[in-house]
């Protein structure tokens, strides 16, 4: 069959890969179609939002709409979904009310960014027709405009609240649901083009079987990391196993003392879920990339990159998280044992990460800090994740885990040892801050020089002290 099917332009659209590499991005593919050049390519690395489109996924007969960066989505991954672009919203003679709002509020000048903003806002109003200012800001935090200025854009967005005008895209929902339901996925899809092979399993077992059959394959899930190797490094990744269609690994379970997260769960879903149950984690996830990135990026993808500046690894260390890995056999491993070096981990050839288990211990206070040059769409310069157990003003256990201070995420072990059984007071924390700062020999790079990192490491412990005191 060598093809995928998705809902597009009011009907099922089939793409055959006989003449098209399966590593083609959704952006490049859409722009190659007649009359579909509204979606723009700015940065090709997830940083500008000009390429934003909406993907709607069918789950239990309901559609979930998400704005995504089409430059980071590999085309086969939209199999079985609905792709919506700015042309679907409206045309000059019959504009959508979002497009009218942009005109009426003078929210567009050169217009390069406009389709991206409009699609980000379309996904928002499908999720919530009456969004708060905070939700509006979140929806467009991944979109950059270099000429209009953001106030008119925000005014246009605010004017969308509870608009009653007809949305012609929503009129297509029943057809989309009916047509998408007809796409039955049982056996893995095998897409071939010359020496490229792109594999889409639908179950964990199928993924493991494919891992055994294609040991050279690169795994992807949200592809927010791997797509850059294609778009920026111009790498040919010849064999890919795409886990994006495995529903078994897309869930969150909150039990009394644990949070269990399926490996393929998107960061945005985790963020929304933990808002009330784990506000400290929520605050950190708010500054992970931007909404379009979080709508694709998965927890396992973040862990498996095993980067010293990945945002989730320090908190998962501090919370003593464990991972379930599934291959021929199943095993669980503490995340601290899983990461073995700079961007290295203990994943075996037949394995994928299938779940992340986070113990939630109410005896501990958790604090997570990320320092970066800007709030959104920025990589960590230095981060600190702390778990502190306090009894009668005495620290009975403490974990201080730094990102960005060494080639791997690392505990400030001497500072931890120093603080155990000490009183919570300014003097002890100042001393611990100096100890922590001297434990590492960070590098200088484009984000900060070594001295700045050392100062940040020290100051984060002072911030931790202030936050603990305020909370106590
Ligand atoms: C613009 C931009 C902003 C970003 N901002 C941040 C940020 O603020 N903080 C941050 O930490 N990261 C950030 N990232 C990096 C990236 O988004 C995250 O690391 C993300 O979590 C990766 O998840 P993914 O599903 O997209 O991974 P993919 O790109 O699909 O895969 C990444 C790695 O994980 C492996 N993998 C994926 N799933 C599994 C699995 N189930 N089992 C085994 N291996 C697996 C892949 O083989 C690959 O090695 C950003 C990236 C971009 C492009
Ligand atoms: S082109 Fe800039 S985010 Fe995709
Ligand atoms: S209107 Fe020109 S970049 Fe936004």
Q: For a pocket test of ligand 1, which of 73, 289, 292, 351 has the largest count of ligand atoms closer than 8 A to its C-beta?
A: 289
The atom number, within ligand 3, closest to the CA of 147 reads 2
Q: Which amino acids bring their CB within 6 angstroms of ligand 3? A: 108-114, 145-148
Q: How far apart are CA 293 and CA 174, in angstroms?
A: 28
Domains 3-181 and 247-360 share a fold: no
Any idea which ligand is nearest the CA of 112? 3
Any idea which ligand is nearest the CA of 119? 2
Q: For a pocket test of ligand 1, which of 46, 283, 297 has the largest count of ligand atoms closer than 8 A to its C-beta?
A: 297
Q: For a pocket test of ligand 1, which of 225, 242, 264, 284 has the largest count of ligand atoms closer than 8 A to its C-beta?
A: 225
Q: How far is the CA of 185 from the centre of ligand 1 (A)?
A: 25
Asked if pLDDT for residue 162 goes beyond 90, the answer is: no
At a CB cut-off of 8 Å and minimum separation 6, what does 401 contact? 314, 315, 317, 318, 384, 385, 386, 409, 410, 411, 412
Q: In the chain, what percentage of residues exceed pLDDT 90?
A: 94
The better pLDDT of the pair 147, 164 is held by 147
Q: How far is the CA of 125 from the centre of ligand 3 (A)?
A: 22
Sign, Cα dihedral of 226, 37, 1, 187: positive
* pLDDT (average), residues 33-38: 96
Any idea which ligand is nearest the CA of 250? 1
Residue pLDDT, tens place only, 1-12: 899 999 999 999
Question: Tokens 């969308």, residue?
Answer: 160
Q: How far apart are CA 17 and CA 4, in angstroms?
A: 8
The atom number, within ligand 3, closest to the CA of 117 reads 4
What pLDDT was estimated at residue 205?
98
Strand ranges (E), 235-321: 239-242, 252-255, 258-262
- Provide the b/e sequence for 284-299 (b: ≥16 CB within 10 Å): bbbbbbbbbbbbbbbb
Q: How far apart are CA 382 and CA 414, in angstroms?
A: 18
- 23 close to 50: Cβ distance less than 8 angstroms: no
Using DSSP bridges, classify how beta strands 252-255 and 52-59 pair: parallel, antiparallel or unpaired: unpaired
Q: Whose CA is nearest to atom 2 of ligand 3?
A: 110
Q: Which amino acids bring their CB within 6 angstroms of ligand 2? A: 41-44, 46-51, 69, 71
Q: What is the mean pLDDT of the chain?
A: 96
Per the structure block, which two tokens stand in for 99?
């497009």
Q: For a pocket test of ligand 1, which of 206, 219, 244 has the largest count of ligand atoms closer than 8 A to its C-beta?
A: 219
The band of 435, judged by pLDDT with boundaries at 50, 70 and 90, is very high
The atom number, within ligand 1, closest to the CA of 309 reads 11
Q: How far is the CA of 266 from the centre of ligand 1 (A)?
A: 10
Strand ranges (E), 338-381: 339-341, 344-345, 352-359, 364-371
What pLDDT was estimated at residue 164?
82
Q: How far is the CA of 89 from the centre of ligand 2 (A)?
A: 20
Helix axes 150-158, 97-104, angle to 10 degrees: 140
Q: Give me the residue spans of the domains in the chain.
A: 3-181, 189-246, 247-360, 364-472
Instruction: Tell the CATH topology of 364-472.
Output: Enolase-like; domain 1 (3.30.390)
Looking at domain 3-181, its CATH class is alpha beta
The band of 218, judged by pLDDT with boundaries at 50, 70 and 90, is very high
Architecture label for domain 189-246: 2-Layer Sandwich (3.30)
Using DSSP bridges, classify how beta strands 252-255 and 82-84 pair: parallel, antiparallel or unpaired: unpaired
Residue pLDDT, tens place only, 78-106: 999 999 999 999 999 999 999 999 999 99
What pLDDT was estimated at residue 378?
87
- Provide the b/e sequence for 265-276 (b: ≥16 CB within 10 Å): bbbbbbbebbee
315 lines ligand 1 (CB under 6 A): no
- Element of type H or E holding 219: strand 218-220
3-state secondary structure of 262: strand
Architecture label for domain 247-360: 2-Layer Sandwich (3.30)
* pLDDT (average), residues 288-292: 97
What pLDDT was estimated at residue 367?
97
Per the structure block, which two tokens stand in for 27?
């952006």
Q: Helices in 2-149 by DSSP H: which ranges?
A: 26-31, 86-89, 97-104, 114-127, 133-139
218 lines ligand 1 (CB under 6 A): yes
Using a 10 angstrom Cβ sphere, with 0-12 exposed, 13-18 middle and 19 or more buried, the burial of residue 112 is middle
The band of 165, judged by pLDDT with boundaries at 50, 70 and 90, is confident
Q: How far is the CA of 50 from the centre of ligand 2 (A)?
A: 5
Q: For a pocket test of ligand 3, which of 38, 50, 99, 146 has the largest count of ligand atoms closer than 8 A to its C-beta?
A: 146
Asked if pLDDT for residue 379 goes beyond 90, the answer is: no
Residue pLDDT, tens place only, 395-429: 999 999 999 999 999 999 999 999 999 999 999 99
What pLDDT was estimated at residue 150?
93
Per the structure block, which two tokens stand in for 159?
């004017």
With CA atoms as reference, report the closest residue to 167 among 111, 88, 222: 88
């Amino acid at each position: 069959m060598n093809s995928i099917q998705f809902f597009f332009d009011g009907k099922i659209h089939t793409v055959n890969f006989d003449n098209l590499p399966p590593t083609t991005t959704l952006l490049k593919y859409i722009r190659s179609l007649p009359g579909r050049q509204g979606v723009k390519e700015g940065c090709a690395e997830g940083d500008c939002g000009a390429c934003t489109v909406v993907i709607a996924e069918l789950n239990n007969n309901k559609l979930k709409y998400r704005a995504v960066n089409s430059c980071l989505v590999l085309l086969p991954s939209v199999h079985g979904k609905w792709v919506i672009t700015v042309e679907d919203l409206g045309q000059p003679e019959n504009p959508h009310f979002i497009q009218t709002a942009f005109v009426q509020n003078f929210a567009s000048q050169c217009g390069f960014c406009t389709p991206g903003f409009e699609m980000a806002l379309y996904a928002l109003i499908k999720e919530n027709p009456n969004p708060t200012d905070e939700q509006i800001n979140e929806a467009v935090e991944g979109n950059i405009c270099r000429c209009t200025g953001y106030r008119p854009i925000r005014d246009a967005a605010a004017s969308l609240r509870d608009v009653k005008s007809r949305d012609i895209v929503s009129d297509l929902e029943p057809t989309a649901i009916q047509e998408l339901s007809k796409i039955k996925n049982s056996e893995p899809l095998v897409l071939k083009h010359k020496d490229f092979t792109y594999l889409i399993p639908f179950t964990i077992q199928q993924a493991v079987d494919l891992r055994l059959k294609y040991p050279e394959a690169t795994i992807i899930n949200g592809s927010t990391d791997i797509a850059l190797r294609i778009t920026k490094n111009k790498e040919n990744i010849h064999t890919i196993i795409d886990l994006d269609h495995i529903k078994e690994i897309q869930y969150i379970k909150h039990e009394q003392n644990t949070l269990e997260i399926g490996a393929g769960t998107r960061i945005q879903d985790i963020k929304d879920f933990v808002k009330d149950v784990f506000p400290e984690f929520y605050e950190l996830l708010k500054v992970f990339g931007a909404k379009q990135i979080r709508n694709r990026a998965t927890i396992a993808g973040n862990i498996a990159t095993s980067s010293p500046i990945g945002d989730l690894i320090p908190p998962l260390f501090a919370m003593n998280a464990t991972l379930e890995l599934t291959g021929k056999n199943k095993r669980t491993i503490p995340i601290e044992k899983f990461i073995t070096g700079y961007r290295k981990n203990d994943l075996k050839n037949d394995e994928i990460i299938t779940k992340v288990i986070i113990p939630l211990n109410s005896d501990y206070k958790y604090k997570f800090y990320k320092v970066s040059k800007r709030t959104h769409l920025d990589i960590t310069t230095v981060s600190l994740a702390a778990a502190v157990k306090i009894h009668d003003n005495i620290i009975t256990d403490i974990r201080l885990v730094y990102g960005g201070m060494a080639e791997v995420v690392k505990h400030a072990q001497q500072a931890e040892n120093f603080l155990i059984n000490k009183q919570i007071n300014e003097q002890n924390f100042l001393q611990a801050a100096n100890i922590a700062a001297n434990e590492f020999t960070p590098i200088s790079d484009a984000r900060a020089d070594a001295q700045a990192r050392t100062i940040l490491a020290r100051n984060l412990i002072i911030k931790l002290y202030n936050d603990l005191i305020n909370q106590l």
